[in-house]
Amino acid sequence: MPYRLTKIYTRKGDEGYTTLGDKRLSKDDLLVEAVGTVDELNSHLGVVLSHEIKDESIKQALTQIQHDLFNLGGELHLPQYVAITKEHIEKLEQQLDIWNDTLPPLEEFLLPRGNPATAACHVARTVCRRAERCLVRLHRQVLLDNAELIRYLNRLSDLLFVAARMLLREGKEQEILWEHKRKK
């Protein structure tokens, strides 16, 4: 198999443009922003996975999600290519339900912190929400062929929240609830 990346720099983007699929786009184009944010999310999941995680189901799920995110990015590059389907979303929901059933119910918002893996997972969750917002803006502008991409990121951010709770519990740390002032 030949190498796909024989040269890392091409100088083609030096003027602020890049090629996605067969289109030459400004690097501040909404599609480029969406692809870049999904890539950033994938990198943050790599940071989560770089920490010691004992729960194999978390490692396996996050690794599979990294593959899914590369496929999602590929689908954004080539809209005729369908990579993310309803089945991907159902798989996230099933994992979410399994993990969430092991956690105590929440009565309040949590502060996004904890051990390094937990904190990194919260950062990944917020980047996931940003990626979702990028895709929603893109969808409003150019109507995505596959709206499942938005649903996938929406469900993924929920899964990352629950994964952060799981990682905090794995580290035997307490959740810190938001203390807010309520008007009486």
State pLDDT tens for residues 36-49: 999 999 999 999 99
**pLDDT number for residue 12:** 65
**pLDDT number for residue 170:** 79
| Structural domains in the chain plus CATH codes | 24-170 (1.20.1200.10)
CA dihedral of 74, 78, 79, 84, whole degrees rounded to 10: -20
Query: In angstroms, what CA-CA distances link 35 with 2, 83, 106, 131, 161?
Result: 25, 14, 33, 8, 22
What is residue 26's DSSP assignment? E
Phi, psi of 177 (to 5 degrees): -80, 150
pLDDT digits (tens, 9 = 90+) for 144-181: 889 899 999 999 999 999 999 999 987 777 777 778 77
Residues 6+ apart with CB under 8 A from 2: none
Instruction: State what percent of residues in the chain have pLDDT above 70.
Output: 85
For range 85-107, the mean pLDDT? 94
Q: How far apart are CA 11 and CA 80, in angstroms?
A: 28
pTM confidence score: 0.88
- List the beta bridge partners of residue 42: none
